[in-house]
Structure 1
């Protein structure tokens, strides 16, 4: 009797719930990750930039209305996605930090299970501030193609067509759009200043509107290349057996957006379509981009190793009203300016803790080197800014911030000092404390203090390093009832 139970348990572990029929081929995957795009700007999310091809994808799948990165910063976000781990657990929590070779990468799990795996376009997981060393990704991809600017997407259709036809595939297609500096071409429409919707925390002036015109063009260009991929999948007759995942590494590259833990920086588009996915549905459930790794592995029928801290989104793909996590977390570490912020999102609440609150909260895009930043700094110098436009100038900042994101989507009204919200504040403080403890997060005794670009040897201590967090496996709190 016990032998039969042990055999049944083994079979359940060896063959996941998504196991395919014997005559069904393994599914293919296209993972399309854009650069520096906020969800709210895209028409699919009610924004001003037409995205007809993303709408096409959404009609065949699930659109996540509450998807968040773990770091609103290029390379830490990408390293987190590919490992399914929080930035301080990857060994690469800061900008331009190469991912350590001993970190497990989910495309490598697919590759060892027979998948043809290619990265094409922007890498940013191997760059150390001076040069790229792609050997740290050699176990994850059969090929790494460096698509250049303006888009980095030009060889994607060719990659699809010329793949080995006797293998399922996983393609990590990484666009350079919409990253500064803007480069316009004929692949997307040109926008006029009157087309621009300026967020209320920026100056609605000519420089900012001109700046957004370039951003809008590059966002629209990502949609153009998505359309080419969808067309090619259809032409080859493999749409019905291919999962397409569309997302971004962080929010738009403007002041108070990129690098920040507000929704303008940390909330990104996420649309998933493929075989068995609910069609033309939206989900309000929380989703973290560390959930991509276990999701893809489960869909492929590949075992999910305990190194992955995310949770599979498969239940939501089948039933968009279901929930796989009550809490999600994000962090802000050094990105051209010193930083140490942590965020937890729960229901309609966002709680932020800032251990670097004595300083301004800046990044390259919030300085005056780009038009929107320049116009913001000029208005500040002339005393013309409204209170909600002065965020990047605050010094000191609040140590704690609490927002009701449903009532206050731009996160202007900090409720941390409100007596009537003391109960939820205390709860999220505790959740944050447990996440930091369980995942091995720490406040560096000698943090990176460099302002601007960095070269190897000039970094300080990484968050989590003193706790060997890069080898911690605990995922931290996920479900409220389980904690």
Structure 2
């Protein structure tokens, strides 16, 4: 513990001399609710689940596939246990987190917003200098010594943390006595028990993302398996700081493909609950399950990144039965023998319902059901719908169900609740006094839940870097500074009417708007104070922001010299986008899994940056064509290189369906026939084989040379340029700023069923604009 942390902790101790003692008001307030003394607390924090996914919220639409809505009851989650908890306890109609994992989990852990803890987004966590002077991410235990784990410990509680961590630094410093983590940290590559790993490797000088189970490369990101055949790391078990599980001869013998990570987490949680109950000690469980979060489907690698299936469960009206998974096979070829469900987020939610049934059953068996508070909520909206979205409340609106004996509130509660509220709620339940001098942004839910109080808080706040979202009972401002009337709920929970004329709404609406605008400046510190106080670090350049400095003249001149050759009779515009008049990427584009933070639209420019070390960030458009003319403006804003990639997603002879491409760096432009060249699966095997004979190596060099053509260029940072790619039959021509740069004639280019194109960017940052795709009818491309 460094000096800053030690001093802050000492201050808290001085101000918390009655930490283990109930304040008089608290005693009178809650004594009748808890016959067994202070309540046990179970907080289940699900991953990437919007409120609309739970039936109790009554939405007319929910998620079927990533980015695809449905109203089909067959693909809606079934949650009888959560429904019962929501009625016997209560469910919060409007609960807000932040738009993506890290800032939401920081809000939950600290009870604070990003202006204090500095975790603004997954893509920007505030920096500080650690004990040895290294600039690194500011851990929450340094920014906020009163984390929820420490609060519970100060109240005399035993604490357990299970599931997803997503926290830097020493996990022992977050206030938890023990932990069971899946997968722990991606830096932990030494797990000897499972090869369900996606890892970045350099093969013959090329960075690839490899599935270690099959040895095959995939277009995804580094990750460990946290569902079937999981990576499990224990903290503070059996007198060891950290160790891999299985950790005994018995568990090693039983561990296998059918071992399911969420089950392992619950086994360790229940063991912890039993041990604490036997000792007469109250417990706090912080269960940050992965369920709801997509993952690579190792059992069906052709699915790629998806919501992998779960063990089969069945509800008979009184309880659940679970089919033990039977999985056989190896190296990507597996048979689940109908013991694993199909893919889909609804199966994840169903399994969460099963686990909540197990929790309630366990608490009843232990005789402490009437002395335990259960909170179920989620960290942000569903991937493809709400996750990382700043539109309306898509990213921040999450489910929250609270079950606690003695509550005065039951069923639907039309109040506003924020994830920051959980820390002061836990403090009050555990008998801990938060010092007046310790700033936090939450409001305890205890008075609302256990008295006749009808309102909880006046407004909700969410954040992501410089984007701020705020709402009251009547109006809401989203991250794009658009205002909406939220006085009535639409059927899909999101189609609120936009307010464009404030004279057409009530005086109460206008008054609430003015009140919310007074609140925001306190938190709007990303541009001025993004890092730890006193860190004295030079500001990071916000490289997402495109500057149209010389674009308006340079790009116009470039287009003027080439535009007429593809705008006459016989040409048809198949796709175009100027990125104007909006701030979201748009529904025409598909972003690679885990790369949502890499793409945005600002000031009428599509911005791209690499966010995964092992692979460039990808964005694609589905579009059928054969011969084609593609034109766009581009700008290097610090990135190293980008590719314009043309694919046939159904072509199996090449990696990821790649047919041909243009690769550009500041000094070199190269075009490639991927189908016959470097992405051909047979050629790739040769490239990845370190034991080629001299003759085989010579043949490989000849293949690559015959399927590529390159030219030297000199592209300066922040200058705008125009690129044009023309494909006719076997010939690809590339024009840079109106001048022919290079040509390639190769048979793979003439692949007749191209159906996808887009960009892959490496490094930070690139700007793209004025994209136009034309297909020829009866005019040959020169």
Do the two structures share a fold, i.e. TM-score over 0.5? yes
Higher relative contact order by CA 8 Å / sep ≥ 6: 1 or 2? 1
Q: Which has the higher helix share?
A: 1
1:138 aligns to what? 173
Rounded to whole Å, the distance in 2 between the matches of 1:27 and 1:138 is 24
2:542 aligns to what? 447
Is 1:156 the counterpart of 2:288? The answer is: no
Corresponding residue SS for 2:439: coil
Corresponding residue SS for 1:17: helix
Alignment counterpart, residue 119 of structure 1, candidates 139, 145, 161 = 161
CA contact 2:502–2:510 (8 Å) conserved in 1: no
Gaps of 5+ in 1: 1-9, 127-132, 191-211, 334-339, 355-398, 456-483
| CA 60–255 in structure 1, closer or farther in 2 if over 3 Å, else same | closer
1:100 aligns to what? 140
Deviation track 1:390-414 (CA, whole Å, cap 9, x = no partner) reads xxxxxxxxx4332335154423532
Is 1:88 the counterpart of 2:202? The answer is: no
Once the two structures are TM-superposed, the CA of residue 317 in structure 1 deviates from its matched residue by 1.0
Once the two structures are TM-superposed, the CA of residue 124 in structure 1 deviates from its matched residue by 1.4
2:442 aligns to what? 310
Rounded to whole Å, the distance in 1 between the matches of 2:543 and 2:519 is 23
1:404-419 correspondence runs (5 A): 404=486, 406=488, 408=490, 409-411=493-495, 413-419=497-503
Once the two structures are TM-superposed, the CA of residue 314 in structure 1 deviates from its matched residue by 1.3
Corresponding residue SS for 1:93: strand
Is 1:343 the counterpart of 2:469? The answer is: yes
1:401 aligns to what? 483
Alignment counterpart, residue 223 of structure 1, candidates 350, 353, 361 = 353
CA contact 2:474–2:512 (8 Å) conserved in 1: no
Alignment counterpart, residue 46 of structure 1, candidates 45, 51, 58 = 58
Q: Which has the higher strand share?
A: 2
Once the two structures are TM-superposed, the CA of residue 72 in structure 1 deviates from its matched residue by 1.5
Once the two structures are TM-superposed, the CA of residue 50 in structure 1 deviates from its matched residue by 0.9
1:49-448 correspondence runs (5 A): 49-69=77-97, 71-95=98-122, 97=125, 99-102=139-142, 103=144, 104-126=146-168, 133-135=169-171, 138-148=173-183, 149-150=226-227, 152-154=261-263, 155-162=265-272, 163-164=275-276, 165-166=278-279, 167-181=281-295, 182-188=307-313, 214-255=344-385, 257-278=387-408, 280-305=410-435, 306-319=438-451, 322-333=454-465, 340-354=466-480, 399-404=481-486, 406=488, 408=490, 409-411=493-495, 413-421=497-505, 427-439=511-523, 441-443=525-527, 446-447=541-542
Rounded to whole Å, the distance in 2 between the matches of 1:262 and 1:213 is 28
Rounded to whole Å, the distance in 2 between the matches of 1:58 and 1:407 is 19
CA contact 1:261–1:330 (8 Å) conserved in 2: no
Instruction: Give the root-mean-square deviation of aligned CA atoms.
Output: 3.0
TM-score (norm 1): 0.68
Once the two structures are TM-superposed, the CA of residue 180 in structure 1 deviates from its matched residue by 1.3
Rounded to whole Å, the distance in 2 between the matches of 1:341 and 1:16 is 42
Once the two structures are TM-superposed, the CA of residue 294 in structure 1 deviates from its matched residue by 0.7
Corresponding residue SS for 1:220: helix
Rounded to whole Å, the distance in 1 between the matches of 2:525 and 2:511 is 19
Rounded to whole Å, the distance in 2 between the matches of 1:289 and 1:213 is 29
Rounded to whole Å, the distance in 2 between the matches of 1:113 and 1:448 is 45
Once the two structures are TM-superposed, the CA of residue 34 in structure 1 deviates from its matched residue by 0.3
Count of residues paired in the alignment: 366
